[in-house]
Chain A
Amino acid sequence: MAYESYVLVCGGTACCSGGGDKIVEAFARELESAGLKEKVQVVTTGCLGFCEQGPIVKILPQGTFYVQVREDDVKEIVAEHLVKGRVVQRLCYDPEQAKKLVAEANIPFYQKQYRIVLRNCGVIDPEKIEDYIARDGYKAIEKVLFEMTPEQVVEEMLKSGLRGRGGAGFPTGMKWKFAQQQPKGQKYMVCNADEGDPGAYMDRSTLEGDPHSILEAMTIAGYAIGASKGFIYIRAEYPLAIHRLQVAIGQARELGLLGDDILGSGFSFDIELRFGAGAFVCGEETALLQSIEGNRGMPKPRPPFPAVKGLWGRPTVINNVETLANIPVIINKGAEWFSKIGTATTKGTKVFALTGKVNNSGLIEVPMGTTLREIIFDIGGGIRGGHQFKAAQTGGPSGGIIPPQFLDTPIDYESLAKIGSIMGSGGLIVMDETDCVVDIAKFYLDFTVDESCGKCAPCRIGGRKLLNYLKKITDGRGTEQDIKDMEAICDAMNKASLCGLGQTASNPVRSTLRYFMDEYMEHIKDKKCRSGKCSKLIQYKIDPAKCKGCTMCARKCPAGAISGTVKNPHVIDPAKCVKCGACEATCKFGAISHG
């Protein structure tokens, strides 16, 4: 016995509260009476997304997608769709498309993602070169080696408009051109896989899911700039990505796709791995090169740029993992195809690691120009636990915090810079009203102070000073003068630091000051933290009217801060209180509260 059709009913929280469970029962009933019980299986699923149109029902194998389904509609779906094979048009998301027996690909919601970089992730077996080859892998290298001159390859990159995905957005073609124009001799191609932003894992997933695409792209770049040697600088904390790269390099060498005389073209190129020990500053290109050379990872002033004088003083191109993953596709499909995706200044797609307080955290890829609202609410399924959206953080410790009024800003390098954040490498952390912006700024500063290499004073001293001010404010000792001092330090760090780390380290502070000054002022003037995150600003109180004197709280308090006698109201000594909340949790009469 095999089922002929399947009815998927969304079992996500939003759909269930909208009557999803009743729909399942109704289907069981109606199928029984239509005599289809043996032919159609009804299953509840995890959240299908698209919650604002719920409850959602999907019929397989046709893939028809019904929205806002009510219990009364079930009878019609069974009678029309499952018995007669006719789509119930009034329940389709777009009745026009229903005529073609809609598959989900036709619904705009599902088209929000566009996978170029992640084309093979979750599709191929990353440890099998055959899988990659079957999905047009190493086809771009064929084209480049046998049909194009290095100049043509660089020209194609320039035309595509691809910009560096490491964060700064420098045009990739320009970088290649500078290196290509250097006199012949030893040149190097380096892949920056030193992904270090908290919450970001795009590059790791790309390397784990599709390592060959990076090898192919590096070989293409090597051919374009005239390099015969490549290095992948990857953090030792990514053991699985390293393993898969090693397997991939071994397979490519064995087949002659790396090494001498690739495919009989006369061009030779090989790749080695270099492991980083996890220093954040080594993601900065000059520090990264120092680290590959075996020196302590510290940035150097630019110019000279690495494209002129890089690894061991030789011309070197450094591209980020995501940038490279785009390249084979651009070669195969052409610069013109690529340049049609995205916005006027920023072409292509961007991969984001969507994390924080969203329902569907995960790895997503969207065309440039997609808005934050689409990413967070449509793809991410909205804010977890019915909370309110407060802010989004992009660009990690170098980025800024984006408040709700910019949810509809189309994302590209320029628009994000304009609102005080940066594209960064692609971490996207969503926050709700239970997050405190001052605390978030403190978290990032803590990170950058820890990771500052200490070479230049603005970053080393400025970062520490800023962090101290933030600690002071979250401890309830801040003054209004502190804000002015912080603004001055931010400016100095931004202008005078040697590398990107110091220049951007103040961004989380600047952007929170810009958009959430009222919250800073609450911390300073009212000694209050509205989210309750800054524990030193919380006061626990016992309401004498409600307290029955049961002594439970006094016995639970680990600090001995609660005093009182049996059957008489108890009191908390704020000086001794450690704000652990144990008393509030234990009180059966709701007499203890905090604020």
Chain B
Amino acid sequence: MAKLTLADLRKMREEKQKALDMRDASNKDVQVIVGMGTCGIAAGAKETFTSLIDTLTQKGLTNVLVRQTGCMGLCHSEPTVEVVAPGMPTVIYGHVDAATAKDIVEKHIVGHELIEGKILDKPSVDIVKNA
């Protein structure tokens, strides 16, 4: 990639802001975000991540974007996975092992139902949205 000028940077920010707000041009309308800090990985987030990708591939679902992120702060319930899907409330699941990851795809994303016993609520709402 070429070096950015000031104008390039601003343009890039605007474009990417939209992408992050789920209006991705690549037709991915569901986001699955896996917490992959050291705490998450130590608790098995890599297996969770692999299981998500495998199940999605098996089902032939191409509208789901699986992303990684850092620690969400819920270290007591790692691995944690946030699911953002249209028509569904955004939820964070805790203690997501490979089997629960499969459930997330099959039940939450395909079946539009929440998964019993695994939901963690957000402990705080990010008040400084764009800080």
List residues of A whose CB falls within 8 A of some B CB: 1-3, 6, 8, 11, 41, 43-46, 48-49, 58, 60-61, 63, 103-105, 110-116, 118-127, 130-131, 133-139, 142, 146, 201, 204-206, 208-210, 238, 240-241, 254-257, 259, 263-264, 329, 332-333, 359-365, 379
Contacts of B89 in A (CB 8 A): 6, 60-61, 63
17 contacts between A and B (CB under 8 A): A2-B112, A44-B117, A45-B117, A46-B120, A115-B126, A118-B73, A122-B72, A130-B12, A131-B16, A205-B39, A205-B70, A209-B71, A240-B37, A255-B1, A255-B9, A263-B9, A360-B74
Whether A6 pairs with B114 at a CB distance below 8 angstroms is yes
- The residue in B16, B35, B68 that gathers the most chain A C-beta atoms within 10 A of its C-beta is B16
Given contacts A45-B119, A61-B89, contact A134 B71 (CB under 8 A): no
Across the A-B interface, give the 8 residue pairs with the lowest CB-CB distance, nearest first: A209-B70, A256-B3, A122-B72, A113-B124, A134-B16, A60-B89, A45-B119, A363-B73
Contacts of B76 in A (CB 8 A): 359-362
Whether A43 pairs with B37 at a CB distance below 8 angstroms is no
CB distance from B68 to the nearest CB of A (A): 6
Whether A133 pairs with B70 at a CB distance below 8 angstroms is no
Contacts of A257 in B (CB 8 A): 4, 9
Whether B116 pairs with A43 at a CB distance below 8 angstroms is yes
Which residues of B101-131 have CB atoms within 8 Å of chain A's CB atoms?
112-128, 130-131
- In the bound assembly, the distance between CA atoms of A362 and B116 in angstroms comes to 23
Which residues of B23-77 have CB atoms within 8 Å of chain A's CB atoms?
35, 37-39, 41, 67-77
Looking across the interface, which residue of chain B has its beta carbon closest to that of A328? Answer: B131
CB distance from B84 to the nearest CB of A (A): 11
Contacts of A133 in B (CB 8 A): 9, 12-13, 16
Looking across the interface, which residue of chain A has its beta carbon closest to that of B127? Answer: A114
Contacts of A110 in B (CB 8 A): 122-125
Whether B72 pairs with A121 at a CB distance below 8 angstroms is yes
Apart from A41-B113, A209-B37, A257-B4, 17 more pairs, CB < 8 Å: A44-B117, A46-B94, A46-B118, A61-B88, A104-B125, A121-B72, A122-B35, A125-B67, A126-B68, A146-B6, A205-B37, A206-B70, A210-B70, A255-B1, A263-B6, A361-B76, A363-B73
Whether B6 pairs with A49 at a CB distance below 8 angstroms is no
Whether B4 pairs with A122 at a CB distance below 8 angstroms is no
Q: Is the interface of B mostly helix, strand, loop or mixed?
A: loop
- In the bound assembly, the distance between CA atoms of A384 and B67 in angstroms comes to 33
- The residue in A112, A208, A210, A241 that gathers the most chain B C-beta atoms within 10 A of its C-beta is A208
Contacts of B6 in A (CB 8 A): 142, 146, 263-264
Whether B122 pairs with A115 at a CB distance below 8 angstroms is no
- In the bound assembly, the distance between CA atoms of A125 and B82 in angstroms comes to 13
Looking across the interface, which residue of chain A has its beta carbon closest to that of B78? Answer: A362
The answer to whether B99 has its CB under 8 Å from any CB of chain A is: no
Partner of A121, one of B4, B70, B91, B94: B70
Whether A360 pairs with B123 at a CB distance below 8 angstroms is yes
- In the bound assembly, the distance between CA atoms of A362 and B70 in angstroms comes to 13
Whether A208 pairs with B37 at a CB distance below 8 angstroms is yes
Contacts of A208 in B (CB 8 A): 37-38, 70-71
Partner of A114, one of B16, B74, B114, B128: B128
Contacts of B112 in A (CB 8 A): 1-3
- In the bound assembly, the distance between CA atoms of A257 and B12 in angstroms comes to 13
- The residue in B5, B12, B17, B128 that gathers the most chain A C-beta atoms within 10 A of its C-beta is B128
Contacts of B69 in A (CB 8 A): 121-126, 209
